[in-house]
Amino acid sequence: MDPDEVLTLFDRRLRQEARPDGPGRRIERAGGVVRQTGPSHGWNGVLWSDLDEEGADAAIAGQVRHFGALGLAFEWKLYAHDRPADLGDRLLAAGFTAGPEETVMVAEAATIAAAPLALPEGVRLAPVTTADGVDLMAGVHERAFGTDDGDPLRRHLLDGLADGTLNAVLALAGDVPVSAARMDLYPGTGFAGLWGGGTVPGRRGRGLYRALVAWRAREAVARGYSYLQVDASSQSRPILERLGFTPLTTTTPYTHS
């Protein structure tokens, strides 16, 4: 896998030529910016921009006006190779708040799928296919990450189940959910995104994260996807590198509300 070639493909298929990620969303192209606009519980924001120093501030102001008129908080998803080079500083000056930097990592799905899928004794995997499964998955997410965003997450997961772009899995110790993860499918792109892999306290360090990556890789291959993509935190990046993922660039979320 040539990282430069894959990054070019990633930029084109998932950013420049982005498709809506669920019902009620739309992709719009305006003034050098590709954005998604949709319901408040979904992801709203800028996926791609092609700006220069002269026009960047006006483009930023245009997005603030657009989402502000709709009463929507939004995110400008900035990548390290985006231009102009000071775009992050311009976003901060316009009232955005920067989140933690993550590493965009990609692997060939078939390579990851070929790895053994080892589970701790007494743990089994169960696909999430119903609203009850979504509730269990959201509960794991809240315990694993210490967040309280259950309702928006549930609605996003239900949207993905409804339109067939969500592939999610629970790890159960007996009947108790202890880990969960999802894969968002991007039809026609060759890419599937791995998101939300989390394990509850007391069950970490036993290989569940790796097992859920392997399970999703096998599902991706079965559905004809070539690449797995992850926005990796500093904690997950070392694990993913050992599994065979390659860093392509970094990304930072800039939020405006």
What pLDDT, in 10s, does the model give residues 100-112? 999 999 999 999 9
Q: What does the pLDDT look like over 135-186, one tens digit per residue?
A: 999 999 999 988 776 678 888 899 999 989 999 999 999 999 999 999 999 9
Percent composition of the chain: helix, strand, coil (DSSP 3-state, to 5): 35, 30, 35
Q: Find all residues with CB under 8 Å of 89, minimum gap 6, and list them.
A: none
Q: What does the pLDDT look like over 182-207, one tens digit per residue?
A: 999 999 999 999 998 899 999 999 99
| Domain 107-250 -> CATH class | alpha beta
217-227 in b/e form (b: 16+ CB < 10 A) is bbbbbeeebbb
Strand partners, 29: 34
Contacts of 205-210 with CB under 8 Å at 24 or more apart are 206/120, 207/118, 207/119, 207/120, 208/119, 208/120, 208/123, 208/171, 208/178, 208/179, 209/179, 209/181, 209/236, 209/239, 210/115, 210/118, 210/239, 210/243
The pLDDT confidence band at residue 49, using thresholds 50, 70 and 90, is: very high
| Of 155 and 213, more confident | 213
Rounded Cα gap, residues 223 and 134, in angstroms: 21
Q: Are the CB atoms for 181 and 198 separated by under 8 Å? A: yes
Domain residue spans in the chain?
Answer: 3-102, 107-250
Type of residue found at 133: G
Locate 226 and state its tokens. 């070539």
Rounded Cα gap, residues 86 and 126, in angstroms: 45
The predicted structure's pLDDT at residue 150: 61
pTM, to two decimals: 0.93
| Of 91 and 145, more confident | 91
